[in-house]
Structure 1
Amino acid sequence: MKPKLNFIYLLIFVLLVITVSEWIGIQSIPVGSVRISLLPLVFAILITMILGLAIFRKGFMKKVYSKENVDFAGKYLIFIMLPLMARYGADIAPKIHEIMQVGWVFILQEIGNLGTVLLGLPVAIWIGLRREAIGATLGIGREGELAYISEKYTLDSDEGRGVLSLYIIGTLFGTLFFSIIAPLMSAAGFSIEALAMSSGVGSASMMTGASSALIAGAPERADTITAYASASQLLTSFLGTYTMVFLAVPLQRFMYKLLVRGRAK
């Protein structure tokens, strides 16, 4: 009965966090000529991270962060992401003809998925990571990488801890970074369409942060920004999976063996 009761506490806690985060809403902070958009998702992550600290894990919170609940959340996290795909499709449909005219550009940007392996893996090994680096540098640690690592190694492995760490860090700091960099590049003269396309890197939170910041600066083009960003996100989530499996994984395996040779594993 105890695990079942702890799960009920988890559901109550999740509903409370969602309610508080949505009540806070999207907060825009002006920094010079740029506005940084903080999304409810960012506040939800911050709340759950702070309340998960040992100092707060007492009584009700101890039951919420029980081992059973943590294991359950890690195991079924990927299923929560599936409805996002349907939402992307709905956003793309109204602009499908316009998007098809520049379709090859969406495909070209998939080459960027290899950047995390080429740049991130050597740095991760250099600072002392080993098997954790495999999960942390396979991609930007979003749904595709999370699913692959969880299926191949499980989320309770070193590789799983690596991808989960990057997932949380990306959700929190990646969203803030994208919220800042998108309007800065817009102010520098880059086209709205190009910036909207580049915001779809495979992360729903990063895409939302970038597109929301762009919409705040050009509200009259909200439909175009949303459609291009969603199309890029959907294509990245689809093609990015094949890029990861057939290109990133073999490349990472080769580089990992080369980099850890002669080092303690």
Structure 2
Amino acid sequence: MKNKNFIFLIIFVLVIITIAEMIGFQSIPVGSISIGLLPLVFAIVITMILGLQLFRKGFWKNVYSKANIDFAGKYLIFIMLPLMARYGADVAPQIREILQVGWVFLFQEIGNLGTVLFGLPIAILLGLRREAIGATLGIGREGELAYISEKYTLNSSEGRGVLSLYIIGTLFGTIFFSILAPVLLGVGFPVEALAMASGVGSGSMMSAASASLVAQVPDMESTILAYASASQLLTSFLGTFTMVFLAAPLQKFMYKFMVRGDA
């Protein structure tokens, strides 16, 4: 039965991926703003809808079996490792260009500590405990997901925290950036600065934000994509070290101080 359920899971994943890719990237105009939705957003929405108890009958009941859920949480790290390797492969050929980008790109890495300094106390005040560790280590993208998955597993409280933030970021993060970028452009922020801000360490968010900027200033498309890509590459590369050597130790210290008896 377990093997049968696993086969159902593989078929289900392939079908969802195919449907999401067929939908493709969608740009929805809302007044003067264009909201970008990537295939990943549609894949998560469809999967969440089909996961409702209302639909857990017959085939869907086999797909969302406890064995499959445990399997997905335990072995997601194997899907993340090739992505981390790809980041390394992307960085290595351009390491010289990255070093020449300048201190402005490096300065934005301080933002990786903001989720710990501001997010962790708020999460604890809201009643979260170990979940707060996964939810506030960073912005909950691929790097944080891989780190938490490797250290705690996604079946842990920390894993549920980072996975929840990853899903929320995918669903609402791209929409948020799609709206915020053109708004800030309208109030006078330079295009280059907004393009740099698009690279937050998430491929989907960077694509949505930069696409929105290009829609507003099409004659600067090459500049926007160049700055956004460089920022994204640098953030993915340095953000990993910032997370491991700065954010994680700081978070551990703050958590022990604020939540006595749960270290």
TM-score (ref. length: structure 2): 0.88
Equivalent in the alignment of 1:67: 66
Which residue matches 1:7?
A: 6
What is the correspondence of 1:1-265 to structure 2 with a 5 Å cutoff?
A: 2-81=1-80, 101-261=100-260
Distance 1:27 1:85, change over 3 A: same
Q: Deviations over 1:64-107 (max 9, x none)?
A: 22223223322333443456568778989999998765332221
Q: How many residues align?
A: 263
Residues 69, 56 of structure 1: alpha-carbon distance in 2 compared, 3 angstrom cutoff: same
Task: Name which of structure 1's ranges 161-170 and 29-38 shifts more when overlaid on structure 2.
Answer: 29-38
* Sequence identity percentage: 76
Per-residue CA deviation, residues 229-264 of structure 1 (Å, 9 max, x unaligned), is 2222222122111111211112111211222238x8
The CA deviation at 1:193 is 2.1
Tell me whether 119-128 or 244-253 shows the greater mean CA deviation.
244-253
Q: Is the CA contact 1:207–1:233 (under 8 Å) kept in the aligned structure 2?
A: yes
Secondary structure in structure 1 of the residue aligned to 2:54: coil
Q: Is the 8 Å Cα contact of residues 206 and 228 (structure 2) preserved in structure 1?
A: yes
Distance 1:90 1:30 in 2: 36
* Cα 1:89–1:130 shift into 2, 3 Å: closer
Structure 2: which 5+ runs fail to align? none
Task: Please tell me the residue identity of whatever aligns with 1:249.
Answer: A
Structure 1 vs Structure 2 CA RMSD: 2.8
Q: Which amino acid aligns with 1:233?
A: Q
Deviates further, 194-203 or 77-86: 77-86
**Which amino acid letter does the alignment assign opposite residue 3 of structure 1?**
K
Scaled by the length of structure 1, the TM-score of the pair is 0.87
Shift in CA distance, 214/88, structure 1 to aligned 2, threshold 3 Å? farther
